[in-house]
Amino acid sequence: MKLAAAGRTHVGMKRAHNEDSLRLCREEGLFIVADGMGGHASGEVASQMSVETLAEFFRATADDDEITWPYKMEKDRRYDEGRIMTGIKLSNRRIFESASRDSRLKGMGTTIVATFFNEKECYIGHVGDSRVYRFRSGKLMQLTEDHSLLNDYIKMRQLTPEEIEAFPHKNVIVRALGMKETVQVDVLTEAPQSGDVYLLCSDGLSGMVTDKNMEHILKQGDDLDLSCERLIDAANDNGGTDNITVILIKCLA
């Protein structure tokens, strides 16, 4: 599958430093966004560690399919599905162990969302509230489900739009890398079509720009770099209260 991709990250308008990380591994067909937490420099350490570990695992398993995996592959999982799940679990373990050894990194963690494209399919692995959207035929659809307190409340109760807007703990996530020794990873499988654009982002974008406005921006043209800039500008224009990270991947054939 031929792909075109672009990515941008921005500190936003309120934060002193950027704790987000991204990685575009074009040759491997792997794209990653991570949103670190923990304050000081530790959030940045966690997010960088997550994208580096996952990218390294994909390079190692691409070169040697006999390599011993750190976790057993779950039954009924396809090879590449298990690959993205295992790589994220390995990232979690390394972050957790690093924080356990170094008191300066105690409490660090990160969300992560990653897409891997092979010849026919796209696998999406994620933990936390960073998201993947699919833009197809002029329509934007959210594919991932936030691991957040707000989303848990929405699933338990039928909250009105006003209640959602007034919810006092919007930024509280219930699942992240580094919080525990093990982590549950959600994996989705997509069948991409020519012309599809996949959007990966931290909540610095999705929390500041509505899905409708993101869709409008993506309708404005096919220049992925320009679209990334427009999305980040929109988040900053709305306040830019968090770091903002965006990756766009277009399926060409």
pLDDT tens column, 18-48: 999 999 999 999 999 999 998 666 999 999 9
Cα(128)–Cα(200) distance, integer angstroms: 13
pLDDT for residue 165: 67
Cα(92)–Cα(104) distance, integer angstroms: 18
- Contact between residue 37 and residue 148 where contact means Cβ atoms under 8 Å apart: no
Cα(50)–Cα(35) distance, integer angstroms: 10
* Number of separate domains in the chain: 1
How much is the average pLDDT of 241-247? 97
pLDDT for residue 66: 65
Which residues are paired to 82 by β-bridges? none
pLDDT for residue 245: 98
**Dihedral in degrees, nearest 10, Cα atoms 187, 245, 173, 75:** 10
Cα(107)–Cα(96) distance, integer angstroms: 9
pTM: 0.91
Residue 216 vs residues 10, 86, 142, 233, 244: alpha-carbon distances, Å: 21, 36, 15, 14, 18
Burial class, 39, CB count within 10 angstroms (exposed 0-12 / middle 13-18 / buried 19+): exposed
How much is the average pLDDT of 119-125? 96
Cα(86)–Cα(74) distance, integer angstroms: 9
* 57, pLDDT greater than 60: yes
33 lies in which domain range? 3-251
* 216, pLDDT greater than 90: yes
In this structure, is the dihedral angle defined by the CA atoms of residues 148, 153, 155 and 160, taken in order, positive or negative?
A: negative
pLDDT tens column, 60-117: 988 766 676 777 666 667 888 989 999 999 999 999 999 999 999 999 999 999 999 9
pLDDT tens column, 137-148: 999 999 999 987
pLDDT for residue 38: 82
pLDDT tens column, 152-191: 656 777 766 766 666 666 677 889 999 999 999 999 999 9
Per the model's pLDDT, the better-predicted residue between 160 and 198 turns out to be 198
**Dihedral in degrees, nearest 10, Cα atoms 177, 14, 203, 114:** -60
The CATH code of the domain that includes 224 is 3.60.40.10
